[in-house]
Amino acid sequence: MKLVKNFFITINSKGFFVTLNAIKNFLIILINNFFSFSKLIKKKIFNFEMYLDPKDRGISRTLLLFGNRELDHKIILETVLKKDMKIFDIGANIGYYVLMQSKLIGKKGKILAVEPVRKNMKLLKKNLELNKNNITRTIQVAVTNKKKFKKFNGSEIFYTTSHSNIGRLDNKIKNDKNKKFITSTLYLERLIKDNFNPDLIRMDIEGSEVDILNDLTDIKLKKYPTICFETHISQYLLRNKNNNLPKMDKTLRKMFKIGYRVRFASTSYELGSKKLKKLGYKPFYKNIKTDDVNREIYMNLKNKDALKLICYEGGLRTILMSR
């Protein structure tokens, strides 16, 4: 019953022919897994190629089935990235955004790809090699806040799931069997000192962006980076119950105080778009069909609206902030 329901949801969001193509790709995955022809499948994604793991229930499966994901995030990056930029990609996973960004910033740009999970890092390096990517350096660590780095002497427990793109430095992951390992950690100031001051920091780290953003407000920089991150409201609400962790609302207020503003925000689903329209905003980019929902991108949110939607109500997906 659930399979039938998902089938019609996919037809509604992606169209009949895309759904048929996804079914074909799914059968290829099943055959590949059953006969073990290869552990990885190579697939063209936009203007680059990727090796994908058919056994992964996360990003690899989505890309194998549909050839893209989170198109709202892609549109925002395409809007703001320029040639020769320098980027930190924190939570680089298997390289979907790293490869996308490298095409946008060109051969004279720089990317530092940060990923703590060994299996993801191995596939990330393989994808960089596949695309002859010479502008990206990788580092296998998790990024934490400076206080926790000192408290735990530069290593913490990292929890993963069967979805390669879901993992974090705490065990609040629900509905999956957690696996855990000890990972080395660094904090933002150290990353900058050891590498370069980035023009943009992109993050998708399941709520730990709060730690990094909080540290950012305490660092003295000649030029502060643009920040692009995915929101995780469930994690922000959990942090509100823990006095030992930085809170997202206080962190955003600190960012506003040093001049940051929300320049772009994509909605996570249709209800998020309705919320922004009710507040008087008009979409910068309409009707983005991605991940089985329709998303929209809005510009220049007021601080009070950003706080409410990011920290308490939800409805926003990708946020881009700059000074």
- Assess contact for 201 and 187: CB atoms under 8 A: no
- pLDDT band, residue 130 (cuts 50/70/90): very high
Structure tokens at 128: 């960089």
Q: What percent of the chain has pLDDT over 70?
A: 82
Contact 154, 141 (CB under 8 A): no
Domains of the chain, by residue range, sit at 2-66, 71-322
Which region holds residue 257: left if phi is over 0, alpha if psi is between -120 and 50, else beta? alpha
Query: Locate tokens 């980035």: which residue?
Result: 198
Q: Using CA atoms, how far apart are residues 70 and 275, in angstroms rounded to an integer?
A: 20
- The residue ranking higher by pLDDT, 27 or 157, is 157
pLDDT for res 173: 45
CATH class of 71-322: alpha beta
Contacts of 50 (CB under 8 A, 6+ apart): 42, 43, 63, 94, 95, 96, 99, 127, 130
From CA 37, how far away is CA 245, in angstroms rounded? 46
Separation CA 139–CA 117 (nearest Å): 11
pLDDT for res 309: 98
What pLDDT score does 2 carry? Answer: 47
Least confident of 143-152, 267-276, 297-306: 143-152
CA distance 26 to 7: 12
Contact at 8 Å (CB) between 217 and 243? no
Task: Give the pLDDT of residue 24.
Answer: 60
Least-confidence region, from 7-16, 117-126, 152-161, 309-318:
7-16
- 33's torsion region: left (phi>0), alpha (psi -120 to 50) or beta? alpha
More confident residue, 168 or 76: 76
Q: What is the pTM of this model?
A: 0.87
Residues 44-64 pLDDT 10s: 999 999 999 988 888 999 999
pLDDT at 214 over 60: yes
Place of tokens 């503003």: 261
Q: What's the burial of 244, exposed, middle or buried (CB within 10 Å: 0-12/13-18/19+)?
A: exposed
Q: Which of 110, 77, 103 is nearest to 320 (CA)?
A: 77
Looking at residue 70, its pLDDT comes to 97
What would the pLDDT profile of 154-174 be if each residue is shown by its tens digit? 878 777 765 555 665 665 544
The phi, psi pair for 171, rounded to 5°, reads -105, 35
